[in-house]
Amino acid sequence: MSRREVPAREPVRLRRTGRERHLELWTEAAGDPPPVYGERWREFDGHAFRSFEPGRSKLAAALVRDWQGGVPASGERWLYLGAASGTTASHVADLVGPTGRVYALEKSPRPFARLLRLSDRWPNLLPILSDARSPESYFDLVPAVDGVYVDIAQADQVDIARRNAEVYLSHPGAPLVLALKTASMGRSRPPAAFLEQAESELERGFELDTSVRLDPFHRAHYLIGGRARPALFREETGAVLRPPPGRSPGRRRR
């Protein structure tokens, strides 16, 4: 890595020339070894970096496929829905860095137990055991956030994403990012038709980014999302409950 290839807290992109162009992604580790899921670690100029594997993370796959939408940035607070055991959530925590926070929601006890252990090594990763279908249930644990990332393989995943964004996004222009699993929406139509449906459901509240298909890394998946429109913050949306922007809960878990 050269010094120019290490922007602060952004994914480091390494291009190799040869028969095919290959893109490697790395994030500066906000936690301590050992590896979370078998990823490679490297030291550079006194800093530890972790390989961000597109075959294991839908966000990494989207970046490889030239996703131009929202990406967590240094110092930001993000709500992560469907964190599982923390593979991508740990990289999001890397991206927001020590001064940022990732409120990582998971409803299944078994992966949550692993997520909880991981948070001992990633201090800015705050696990919450709860159901994303009930955003009010963790209202006292999550402040207004700079972005919402959703990876939930459910038929109503788009509605879950939209409702949480209405409650927790802090301002117009804040990003919603959804790893859309079309197979969870049904098998009666091709994936592109479900993508169109999802975009249609989101476009009233968001200025949509260009969606990215995640094949061959994640079959029939897309990364979709956009920036919140001002209309999302008006009372007629039904999102009357909002955390105060300055509130910053501690490390309580439920």
Examine residue 85 and state whether it is found in any structural domain, yes or no: yes
CATH number for the domain spanning 155: value is: 3.40.50.150
Q: Tell me what the mean pLDDT of segment 101-111 comes to.
A: 98
Average model confidence (pLDDT) across the chain: 89
Structurally, the chain folds into a number of domains equal to 1
pLDDT, tens digit (0-9, with 9 covering 90-100), for 20-56: 556 899 999 999 999 999 999 999 888 999 999 999 9
Residue 52 contacts residue 46 (beta carbons within 8 Å)? no
Residue 119 contacts residue 126 (beta carbons within 8 Å)? yes
Examine residue 220 and state whether it is found in any structural domain, yes or no: yes
Residue 239 has pLDDT above 50, yes or no: no
Examine residue 64 and state whether it is found in any structural domain, yes or no: yes
Examine residue 176 and state whether it is found in any structural domain, yes or no: yes
Residue 22, classed as helix, strand or coil, is strand
Give, in order, the Cα–Cα distances in Å from 185 to each of 42, 150, 160. 39, 15, 13
Residue 62, classed as helix, strand or coil, is helix
Cα–Cα nearest to 135, from 165, 156, 108: 165
Lowest-confidence pick of 4-13, 169-178, 193-202 = 4-13
Cα–Cα nearest to 84, from 53, 122, 116: 116
Examine residue 32 and state whether it is found in any structural domain, yes or no: no
pLDDT of res. 175? 98
Examine residue 20 and state whether it is found in any structural domain, yes or no: no
List the domain range (segments joined by +) for residue 99. Answer: 54-237
Rounded Cα distance between 72 and 49, Å, is 17
HSE (CB half, 13 Å, CA atoms) of 61? 22
Examine residue 43 and state whether it is found in any structural domain, yes or no: no
Residue 116 has pLDDT above 60, yes or no: yes
- Cβ atoms < 10 Å from Cβ of 137: 14
Examine residue 203 and state whether it is found in any structural domain, yes or no: yes
pTM reported for the whole predicted model: 0.89
